[in-house]
Structures are given as C-alpha cells and as structure tokens.
Amino acid sequence: MKFLPPLITALMLALSLPAWADVSRDDAAALAQQATGGRVLAVDQAQREGRLVWRIKLLTPQGEVIVVLIDAASGRRL
C-alpha cells in the first residue's frame, strides 16, 4: 500500500499535462488556406473519431464559407 499514493500522484500529473499537437494552429491554417485559396475566418481544436484535429473555417474566392479539418498529428486534410 506504500506505493499507492506515489502512483496516484504520478497518474494525476500525467493526466494534467497538455496534449501537444505536432501541427500548430498557424500551420494548420496555412495548409487549409493553400489547399483552398480561401481566407481563414476561424481556427478551433476538435475531436474526430478519437483524433485531435484543427477545424478551419474559410471564405473561398467564390464567396462560400467552408470548413476544412486538418489532422493535428500528421497535417493531412480530412
């Protein structure tokens, strides 16, 4: 039972650490902008199928508002 308090403390510390994405917010916005030629309106983090993604809302040159999802780990467009 002596190992239980340190184990609980270690678990709490591990769970409190932020999840760092490999692709930054700015990089995701740039990728979406290059792919669509649009103007970035907003960038938010979201979850899709258990993965962290960047959700980028853009205004296309044709005047349409679209949403592009970029995988935060790989930078691939979903």
For domain 20-78, give the CATH number.
Answer: 3.10.450.40
Token reading at 59: 């205004």
| DSSP structure class, residue 63 | S
* pTM of the shown model: 0.70
- Domain range summary for the chain, segments of one domain joined by +: 20-78
Closest CA to 28 of 8, 10, 46: 46
What pairing do the DSSP bridges indicate for beta strands 65-71 and 51-59? antiparallel
Average pLDDT for 45-66: 94
CA atoms in the 13 A half-sphere facing the CB of 21: 21
Amino acid identity for residue 65 in this structure: V
Contact status, residue 15 vs residue 21, Cβ threshold 8 Å: no
Query: Tens of pLDDT along 26-47?
Result: 999 999 999 999 999 999 999 9
How are strands ordered across the β-sheet holding 39-48? 39-48, 51-59, 65-71
